[in-house]
Amino acid sequence: MIIEPKIRGFVCVTAHPDGCAANVKEQIEVARAGGKVADGPKRVLVIGSSTGYGLSSRIQAAFGCGADTFGVFFERPASNGRPASAGYYNAATLEAEARKEGLYAGSLNGDAFSDELKDKVIERLKKEMGPIDLVVYSLASPRRTDPRSGETFKSCLKPIGQSFSSKTVDTDKDLVHEIQIDPADGEDVHSTIKVMGGEDWERWMECLAENDLLADNFKTIAYSYIGPKLTWPIYKNGTIGKAKEDLDRAATVITDQYKNLGGEAYVAVNKAVVTQASSAIPVVPLYISILFKIMKEKGTHEGCIEQIVRLFRDRLYGGNEVELGDDGRIHVDDLEMKPEIQAAVAEIWPLITSENLKELSDYMGYQNDFLKLFGFGVDGIDYTRDVDPDTALPGGDW
Ligand code: NAD
* E-state strands within 84-174: 105-109, 132-137, 143-145, 152-154, 164-170
Q: Which CATH architecture has domain 7-372?
A: 3-Layer(aba) Sandwich (3.40)
Per-residue pLDDT at 89:
95
Q: What is the rounded CA–CA span in Å between residue 27 and residue 273?
A: 15
pLDDT tens digit string along 298-324?
999 999 999 999 999 999 998 878 989
Determine the pLDDT at residue 393.
Answer: 62
Assess whether the C-beta atom of 51 lies below 6 angstroms from ligand 1: yes
The protein residue whose alpha carbon is closest to atom 28 in ligand 1 is: 138
Catalytic residue (one of 225, 235, 258, 363) = 235
Higher per-residue pLDDT: 393 or 154: 154
Q: What is d(CA 116, CA 131) in angstroms, rounded to the nearest whole number?
A: 20
Q: Is 74 in the pocket of ligand 1 (CB under 6 A)?
A: yes
Three-state secondary-structure class, residue 320: coil
Q: Is any ligand 1 atom within 6 A of the Cβ of residue 235?
A: no
241 lines ligand 1 (CB under 6 A): no
Alpha carbon nearest to ligand 1 atom 23, residue: 277
* CA dist 359 → 171, 190, 286, 303, 370 (Å): 16, 41, 13, 21, 19
Spatial contact of 44 and 31, defined as CB atoms under 8 Å apart: no
Nearest 10 degrees: CA dihedral of 374, 173, 231, 271?
30
Q: Whose CA is nearest to atom 12 of ligand 1?
A: 48
Average pLDDT over residues 152-171: 97
Pairing of strands 214-224, 132-137: parallel
Domain parsing of the chain, residue ranges: 7-372
272 lines ligand 1 (CB under 6 A): yes
Coil, strand or helix at 132: strand
- For residue 139, how far is its CA from the centre of ligand 1 (angstroms)? 4
Residue 319 pLDDT: 83
44-100 pLDDT per residue, tens: 999 999 999 999 999 999 999 999 999 999 999 998 889 999 999 999 999 999 999
pLDDT score of 234:
96
Q: How confident is residue 38, by pLDDT bands cut at 50, 70 and 90? A: confident
pLDDT tens digits, 363-395: 999 999 999 999 999 999 999 999 988 865 665
pLDDT one-digit tens code per residue, 210-259: 999 999 999 999 999 999 999 999 999 999 999 999 999 999 999 999 99
d(CA 208, CA 9): 38
pLDDT of residue 318: 86
In the residue annotation, 235 being an active-site residue is answered as yes
300 C-alpha to center of ligand 1: Å? 23
- Residue 145: helix, strand or coil by DSSP? strand
Q: Which atom of ligand 1 is nearest to the CA of 333?
A: 43
Question: For residue 396, what pLDDT is reported?
Answer: 56
Cβ of 368 closer than 6 Å to ligand 1, yes or no, is no
Contact 72, 324 (CB under 8 A): no
